[in-house]
A and B are shown apart, each in its own frame.
Chain A
Amino acid sequence: MIGLTVLFAGLIILPHFLAYHHQDLLIFTTINVLAVCSYRLVTLTGEWSLIHAVMMGVGAFTAALLFLEFDMAMWFTVPLAGLVTAAIAFVLCFPLLRMTQFYFLIASFAAGETIRLTWVEFVGIFGGTGGLVGVEPPIVGEIDFLDPIPYFYLTLAVVTVCLFLLYRIEKSRVGLTMHAIHWKAPLAESVGVNAWRYRALALVTGSFFVGIAGAMKVHYLGSVTPNQFGIGFMVFILIWVIVGGYTSFAGPVIGVIVLTIFDESIRSFEEVRPAIYGAVLILSILFLPAGLEGLPARLRVWFGIGNKHADPKLTEH
């Protein structure tokens, strides 16, 4: 609890010490934290989907359309974007959740690409490859949310509330049941758990929160294009989750933050950045299968610090 308080105090004063473009980065990183944490909820039942990035795009496009076509303020577009994304996810549950494992992975990829190509194809509604522009954050009295600092506080507040909800869901009876479906689906079903319902719930709830993340992003960035939410961004979500570690709630968050700082430090190597990312991904899979969250235990093993019982693998049983 004290740790969290210190963290928030730090986050609240942090933007005042940053340059303008780092403030932007801070906002997008905060939004990405919500994207990976909501993805974690989807993966709780053991299925890795490839549609999450597109779902974030659904949120962004919904918010943009509501703003541009219906003149809705951000206070309405963001929650509505979450609801629309959740509704689309619910419809997709019917075809997608008939499958598991590899088939689910590929089918979710196909469904996502279909949605994304629809944005490209229907230029009249979604603006084609150029996407939609001119989405603005609101102005409330003296506060213009186009400024990075107020917008960061707003984002921080929204993301914190969402993370709290996600955390409560994971620790609730529902979340534990999702865990159970991951590890022993037949057993869970044999004691009367409707696996389909829980997998659908994970997908819909995860999509709701990532829809909110997408809406938060489009209101700050001002524009949205289909390519922003392609397989490239999906891969980044996967990298953040995997490098961070996906066995605990904090893992993906650590992944986003560490890799964003790392990414910023290699900014001067613009052209080779994807390759460095690729290499980091491969190395972390080969040498850090538990992700960064497993690093302390790993270091202890590598350097022989402490007794052998410090290795969680040995103490588990």
Chain B
Amino acid sequence: MELIVQSLINGLVQGGFYSLFAVGLVLIFGVMGVVNFAHGELVMVGAFTVWLVHAQFGVDYLPAIALGVVIVTSIGIFMEKALFKPTRSDPLAGLICSIGVLFILQVVATLVGGDGPSKQVPPPFHGTLIFLDVIRVPTQRLFGLGISVAALVALWLFLTRSKFGWALRAVALDREAAALQGINTDKVSLIAISIGAALAGLAGTLIAPLTNINPHMGHNVIITAFIVTIVGGVGSLTGAVLASVLYAVFHTFVTVYFGGTVATICGLVLMVVVLIVRPTGIMGVRVSE
């Protein structure tokens, strides 16, 4: 029983991190029509920044988070300006360019961190909160969950309450019609990728103290993001968040009982099954022709 409750809590915290990068991927795909294969590497860069600045140079954790987010956001803006905008007419070209970025970022990380074993960041927050005598949540995880939820709420408010948010959702629905209404679609794309990259960077900085950091950690991130995006319904942000939490809990449980590889296999099979049985995902809307 204890193990079950504990796994449930761990899964929920993990779900917060998954949501951050999955939502970014959905946003970029929805608005720009580009599958950003380098999204996992954006998370990796965020984690690496924390390792370099906080664990190596001794800067405080919070400024390191801010710096990580700024760096990753700049990479996102660069990708939009230099790669996605010139290839807007061909979605495949954008995808291929993002694969190029993936390679470059991995090499940069290897050059910065060396090709040695995975890096670890000592958790800046110590201590464990104990609820009801049995449930133990390390403060570090609680902090990560709190920031994730805050960022997601902020995003939700931005999308539903601000003018830019409306414009962004309009472009995601129908790019041409939005342009005809006088919405500057290039500007909206820039905002979308900035938000998406910033969230990925934030996710990276938050998981840095909880995971092994290496230049290839983005691989698992992108697989998770794909699974969550498909299961949640492509284009649905709420679906992505919901699927993130569900999948994280599911993945934690299967990992506890059967191991990580089996958990990922189950996730991938689940994704293919969702694609077959309910291609619109749990929250997707069926578009009539």
**Mutual binders A and B:** yes
Residues of A within 8 A of B (CB): 48, 95, 98-99, 102-103, 105-107, 109-111, 113-114, 117-118, 120-121, 231, 235, 238-239, 242, 271-272, 274-275, 277-282, 285-286, 289
B269 at the A interface (CB under 8 A): yes
Do residues A117 and B104 form an inter-chain contact, with CB atoms below 8 A?
no
Look across to chain B and name the residue whose beta carbon is closest to the beta carbon of A107: B275
Do residues B268 and A48 form an inter-chain contact, with CB atoms below 8 A?
no
Chain B positions within 8 Å of A118 at CB level: 265
Look across to chain B and name the residue whose beta carbon is closest to the beta carbon of A277: B103
Partner of B99, one of A110, A111, A281: A281
Do residues A103 and B83 form an inter-chain contact, with CB atoms below 8 A?
no
Contact with A along B253-289 (1 / 0, CB 8 A): 0000001011011001101100110010000000000
Chain B positions within 8 Å of A239 at CB level: 99
B179 at the A interface (CB under 8 A): no
Chain B positions within 8 Å of A114 at CB level: 265, 268-269, 272
Chain B positions within 8 Å of A242 at CB level: 96
Q: What is the CB-to-nearest-CB distance from B258 to chain A, in angstroms, rounded to a whole number?
A: 9
Do residues A117 and B226 form an inter-chain contact, with CB atoms below 8 A?
no
Do residues A282 and B111 form an inter-chain contact, with CB atoms below 8 A?
no
Do residues B108 and A106 form an inter-chain contact, with CB atoms below 8 A?
no
Cα-based distance from A274 to B108 in the complex (angstroms): 10
Cα-based distance from A279 to B83 in the complex (angstroms): 11
Look across to chain B and name the residue whose beta carbon is closest to the beta carbon of A242: B96
Residues of B within 8 A of A (CB): 29, 35, 83, 86-87, 90-93, 96-97, 99-104, 106-108, 110-111, 115, 219, 223, 226-227, 230, 234, 259, 261-262, 264-265, 268-269, 271-272, 275-276, 279
Do residues B275 and A281 form an inter-chain contact, with CB atoms below 8 A?
no
Look across to chain A and name the residue whose beta carbon is closest to the beta carbon of B264: A117
Partner of B100, one of A99, A281, A289: A281
The DSSP consensus for interface residues of chain B is helix
Cα-based distance from A177 to B227 in the complex (angstroms): 33
Q: What is the CB-to-nearest-CB distance from A262 to chain B, in angstroms, rounded to a whole number?
A: 15
Q: What is the CB-to-nearest-CB distance from B234 to chain A, in angstroms, rounded to a whole number?
A: 7
Do residues B97 and A282 form an inter-chain contact, with CB atoms below 8 A?
yes
Look across to chain B and name the residue whose beta carbon is closest to the beta carbon of A113: B268
Chain A positions within 8 Å of B265 at CB level: 114, 117-118, 121
List 6 additional A-B contacts (Cβ < 8 Å) besides A113-B264, A277-B100. A99-B275, A114-B269, A278-B99, A278-B101, A278-B107, A279-B104
Look across to chain A and name the residue whose beta carbon is closest to the beta carbon of B35: A102
Do residues B275 and A103 form an inter-chain contact, with CB atoms below 8 A?
yes
Chain A positions within 8 Å of B107 at CB level: 271-272, 274-275, 278
Chain B positions within 8 Å of A121 at CB level: 259, 261-262, 265
Cα-based distance from A117 to B29 in the complex (angstroms): 27
Chain B positions within 8 Å of A235 at CB level: 99, 103
Do residues A282 and B83 form an inter-chain contact, with CB atoms below 8 A?
yes
Q: Known: A231-B219, A286-B83. Contact between A278 and B100, CB under 8 A?
A: yes
Do residues B272 and A110 form an inter-chain contact, with CB atoms below 8 A?
yes
Partner of A285, one of B87, B104, B106, B219: B87
Do residues B219 and A106 form an inter-chain contact, with CB atoms below 8 A?
no
Chain A positions within 8 Å of B261 at CB level: 117, 120-121
Q: What is the CB-to-nearest-CB distance from A47 to chain B, in angstroms, rounded to a whole number?
A: 11
Q: Known: A117-B264, A238-B99, A278-B99. Contact between A285 and B93, CB under 8 A?
A: yes
